[in-house]
Amino acid sequence: MTESSAMPVVDRIRQIRQDRRWSKVELGERVGVHQKQVFAYERGGNLPPTEVLIKMAAVFDVTLDDLAFEAKGQPASINIQDREFLRRFEALDHLTEPEEHLAKKILDLANLKNRFPLLAQNGAEAA
């Protein structure tokens, strides 16, 4: 599969929103973000944070996989510039389900650390 045949997550969000006949304003209200943020997500300027993707999946009544995949087994495109990170990310395809769950939790934790740097700093001082 080529990257051009995959549908980016932001396009899936737009497609599902339009399938439900919701405006960008309505989607923003349902997930608790300003309409300008929804515009930015769909324009591709910003990728929604994990918390917003989870809320979108809930209000769309789909799984997170449904947001990330346009069809079974066909991943959405993702642009990772760091080659080492990309290599490691691609290796995740071979994990067992419990290992995959753990890897996702670790990524969630890393994302939280980046979103709340003061919390991460205080946690490091306590250790």
pLDDT digits (tens, 9 = 90+) for 35-47: 999 999 888 777 8
CA-based nearest residue to 89, from 105, 76, 74, 100? 100
Residue written as token pair 């300008």: 36
More confidently predicted of 5 and 110: 110
Report the pLDDT value the prediction gives residue 82, as an integer from 0 to 100: 73
Whether the predicted model's global pTM rises above the 0.85 cut: no
Give the span between the Cα atoms of 69 and 33, in whole angstroms.
23
Cβ–Cβ < 8 Å for 106, 52:
no
Q: pLDDT grade, residue 6 (50/70/90)?
A: very low
Give the span between the Cα atoms of 61 and 55, in whole angstroms.
10
